[in-house]
Chain A
Amino acid sequence: MNYDVTVIGGGPAGLAAAIAANKENASVLLIEREARLGGILKQCIHDGFGLVTFGEKLTGPEYCERYIDELLQTDISVKLLTFVTRIEKNADGFAIHFVNREGAAHVQTRAIVLATGCRERTAKQVFIHGTRPSGVFTAGTAQYYVNLMGELPVKRCVILGSGDIGLIMARRLTMEGAEVIGVYEAKPEPSGLPRNLYQCLDDFGIPLHLSHTVTRVFGDERLTAVEIAQVDVNMRPIPNTEKIIECDGLILSVGLIPENELAESIDVAIDKRTKGPICDQKYMTTEEGVFCAGNALHVNDLVDYVTQSAVEAGRNSAYLTNQPRALVHVVAEEGILYTVPSVLDMNEPINDVTLYFRASRELRNAMLTLCVDGRAVFQKKYSVLRPPEMERLKLNFAQYGMTVDSEVSLSLKEVE
């Protein structure tokens, strides 16, 4: 079977990409490894999704089901409980190999949209020492137990990391009757959004301890206690500040990493800062015909931005040209953690580019400067910028007199 576009992943990015490609009359296959579409939004039962897209505060299931409703009205082919094992490049595009209940098979596709989302960092990745008892969960796993299975995985727990999912789980576990002793964050600043600190912790009197981390876990079969210590500016534990806290649960909310094993297997270049593929303004990766969108590209803080990137990626995947690309890098300089896209294809329109960026640290009265060949061509002032909050700019690069040899950079400096 042949398709114009194969979308891998049936979460918010995959749904929007598949619908967008279908609207351009491409034949589309959507592959999802779980039994239901919707991705992580199935378990994000809290509200706050879709304010940008729909002007309403929706819950995760409501947001994704609007797209599922739309998708089911189209002739998009959907394969559920299907896992992509291998992608092979060939003369006509790609052969996508997969396994499902029918066995192992493959389809041929001209373009691919990678919408594989992201994964949570685990206890091993944050170097927590001690025994290996049950009771140590990532926030997403705890959320799966509570919101999809209806099981309460902990009675009395500590949360490590102040990411948004951790904050939301602090509230959720408290509402379901568990005791959340506190949220511990190794960094001197919280990493979640201020409104989540307010409505998830303050509302329930849950304390937030900055510059603290979990250094050890105790327990044989089940977690019985954790050791907490204060950390210095280099996030190293300070001796003699250790404290033992008895608990049966440790919830980790210590960051998300784009999932790009498939991308790497077909030589897609990965941006070290976003940990997602390097993409141009059409959301095409360094591999011709391979697009990427949503949290697989970079971890977004709003699902609305996931959808927007996926709509672009999906639409562009329907129009593959074989013309060579002329890529110009957008260099992230002082104050900028990263930009998406990080390259611009000068052989494609550059007059309407949505540029996402994050500040590398908290900045007040910061001046954003876009430089082309040493000239400041665009400036914007921000009163406050924080790394957890992604910013978005609409830019018309065509008016800056760029050539294929131009040097483009973005920087942030604090001004008076």
Chain B
Amino acid sequence: MKELVCIVCPNGCKIVIDDNGDILNAKCNRGIVFATEETTCPKRTVCSTVATTFSDFPVLPVRSSAEINKIDIPACMNALNSVLLDRRVGRGEIIIKDVLGSGVDIISTSSMQYTYCDVETPDDGAKDNA
């Protein structure tokens, strides 16, 4: 018997796989798929950052566009740590294509355009003590 916690959604079902390989206590199909994968080839989404050359945005958050094999996470982190980004990217842009030959891309999860200078700050307040 094996116990695991489903990480697909916030319900966090405590799934049991009994000695016959039957999957119990999953509230939905995605949980059954998760439990099957978890016992054969566990997968995770990798969320991390890559370094940039910009002082106002020293690291850019990124994630894998789909789940990768859990066993490949350390190698994936090494690949991320070797990146130094020297252009301002938008959200969803590919940072590493086909990381480790997995067929999965590393994509940006934030727009580097969103710094304060791009948002209008109207000076419309009545001045105090002016």
Contacts and interface: CB of A to CB of B under 8 A. Distances in A.
Interface of A: 1, 35-38, 42, 45-48, 51-52, 57-59, 61-62, 65, 68, 72, 77-82, 97-98, 100, 102-107, 146-150, 175-176, 193-195, 197-199, 203, 301-302
Nearest to A148: B59
A194 B63 CA distance: 22
B126 A107 contact: yes
B36 interface: no
A82 B114 CA distance: 17
A77 B110 contact: no
B129 A195 contact: no
B91 to A, nearest CB: 6
Given A59-B47, A59-B109, A47 B63 contact: yes
B109 A194 contact: no
Contact of B61 (A45, A72, A100): A45
Interface string B19-51: 000000000000000000000000011011101
A106 B47 contact: no
Interface string B59-82: 101010000001001000100000
B78 to A, nearest CB: 10
Contacts of A203: 44, 70
Nearest to A301: B10
Interface residues of B, number: 40
A175 B48 contact: yes
Q: Is the interface of B mostly helix, strand, loop or mixed?
A: loop
10 contacts: A36-B114, A36-B116, A37-B114, A45-B63, A61-B61, A102-B123, A148-B58, A195-B5, A199-B5, A302-B10
A102 B48 CA distance: 36
A61 B1 CA distance: 39
B119 A78 contact: yes
Q: Is the interface of A mostly helix, strand, loop or mixed?
A: mixed
A309 to B, nearest CB: 16
Contacts of A48: 10
Contact of B121 (A42, A80, A146): A80
Contacts of B47: 45-47, 59
A239 to B, nearest CB: 35
Contacts of B10: 48, 51-52, 193, 195, 301-302
A175 B109 contact: no
Contacts of A100: 121
Interface string B105-130: 00001110011100111111111111
B124 A77 contact: yes
Contacts of B111: 65
A129 B1 CA distance: 44
A80 B49 contact: no
A36 B127 CA distance: 24
B119 A45 contact: no
A175 B4 contact: no
A51 B114 contact: no
B114 A65 contact: yes
B7 interface: yes
